[in-house]
A and B are shown apart, each in its own frame.
Chain A
Amino acid sequence: MELLKVENLDKSFLSSKHAKLVHAVNQVSFTVNSGEFVALVGESGSGKSTVAQIIAGLTPADSGAVFLRGERAAYPYFREYYKFLQMVFQMPVDSFDPRWRIGKVLETILKRFAYPGNRRMRAAELLSMVGLPLAYLDKFPAQMSGGECQRAALARALAVGPELLICDEITSALDVSVQAQVIDLLLQLKEKTKISLLFISHDLALVQGISDRVLVMKDGMIVESGSTSEVLGAPRTAYTRQLIQSLITIEDAEKESR
């Protein structure tokens, strides 16, 4: 089933640095099916984060449409849409209000989406789901590491029981060992639940291990798409080859250094 469908998304904005119009998203269309992990890759500045923002209802598109489970979602979004879709952001610590303890964050979102049971217990359950100890209910974001905050952000996103999770560069601010833990967590989710994932990243190595399908973005356009093995195994465009090439070079360098 088509869970998410975006059609001809288009967005430009005035760049403050160069004072010129940047065509960030150019006629982007794709779908995410139920239970599917889709990766959106590209260099920084390729417009992938803007696509995520548009789908999450954080910024309006200039034209085009987002369909959530077949229903057109117009900006600004209704609260109900966030029961269906959730998002985890790039900056882990910054994605929490510094004045709120993690427990309060989780209980508040459970309350807002009318969780019927004991909210404190559910919050504890969510924390254990992402591998954080119970004591973290009483912690402030500033008292936690980036990896811990990102786990808590996942717990917050999962609190509403979403069908689609958007992960916008969620590992790029973490160091490598912590990255692996967060990716493991996502893979566990894939096994245990029917959740779909839109995984936005510039890191092909991560994408390789997690996604079913890959979309490659360049200068606001999707230049290549297909199953992960297809795209990474037999890239059709020079740009994708270039991306893979840079990945291989890094791997070789790592091997050599060992």
Chain B
Amino acid sequence: MGEKTGRTGKLDRSDKRFLFWSVAVLALLIFSLLAPHLASHDPYEINLSLVTAPPDSEYWMGNDYVGRCIFCRLLHGAARSIFAAVLVVMLSFVIGTLIGTVCGYAGGRIDIIVMRLVDAVQAFPNLIFSISVAAMLGSGLKNCIIAMVITGWTQYARLARTKVLDIKKKTYVRAARVSGMSGLEILLYTILPNSLSPLIVAASMHVGNAILSFSGLSFLGLGSPPPYPEWGTMLNDGRSTFQTAPWTILFPGAAIVLTVMIMGMFGDSLNAKLNPRKDESNEI
């Protein structure tokens, strides 16, 4: 994988693309952490003289229906919207991979039961399932995350299981046994690391999706309670005013689209790098 290109010191196109998008993602993450400190106004400050005021030099993105600074609210919401999504992906990844790996390795009855459960969860459209779970648990960021993990882990479980079933048959697993590795060592040091690449790609693509569904849940009022500036909540706030003041919905929407796009492109470039179609010899 990267070693060959690393040796010659040359970057091919997929390397360059990957480098570009990882820098973009890194910049986005750093920005979202610093964002609250860059805000020029208090995001909660209500100013009735500025209700739905258009963008100007002081309020770059205008003001919302109670005159709050949209720009400052976007910045404050960034960290929470992005990191909630990252947290959802991380939890889903760990739980799903663990369960899928054990199912693939152990097989038998556990495998059948868990995989039917996965089928059952995946039979529902993801967002609808999350909405019903979040509605059951009540609104709030924590419940939102739980709801999304409950639907999210299944794709990792399925991927991990398939990959483990494939790797399990390889000669090098038998060679590892003859080299004196125990079953657990083989699972941890041989099977799991060789199964990870499609899972990592799935995770990087999942982040963008999670931001989107997360905004969706917030939009429906299942995210953090109202005064908190979540991107999806801001879209919802702008719903009543967007015909007269389109900026109330334009900027939060653009922030979501931009973030999802960057995450998606990053996932795509990672996929191109880890699974190059032209060079199958790495996969043997």
Interface residues of A (CB under 8 A from B): 56-58, 79, 82-83, 86-87, 89-91, 93-99, 108-109, 112-113, 140, 142-143, 153, 156-157, 160
Contacts and interface: CB of A to CB of B under 8 A. Distances in A.
A94 B170 CA distance: 7
A140 B179 contact: no
A82 B180 contact: yes
Interface of B: 3-4, 170-172, 174-182, 190, 193-194, 281-284
Contact of A109 (B4, B171, B179): B179
Given A99-B193, A99-B194, A94 B176 contact: no
Nearest to B196: A99
Contacts of A98: 172, 194, 282-284
Given A82-B180, A86-B178, A112-B179, 14 more contacts: A56-B178, A58-B174, A58-B178, A87-B178, A89-B175, A94-B284, A96-B172, A97-B190, A97-B194, A98-B194, A140-B3, A142-B281, A142-B284, A160-B180
29 contacts: A57-B177, A79-B180, A82-B180, A86-B178, A87-B178, A89-B171, A89-B174, A89-B175, A94-B170, A94-B171, A94-B284, A95-B171, A95-B172, A95-B175, A96-B175, A97-B176, A98-B172, A98-B194, A98-B282, A98-B283, A99-B194, A109-B180, A112-B181, A142-B282, A142-B284, A143-B4, A156-B175, A157-B178, A160-B180
A56 B178 CA distance: 7
Contacts of A58: 174, 177-178
B284 A82 contact: no
Contacts of B177: 57-58
Contacts of A157: 178
Nearest to A159: B179
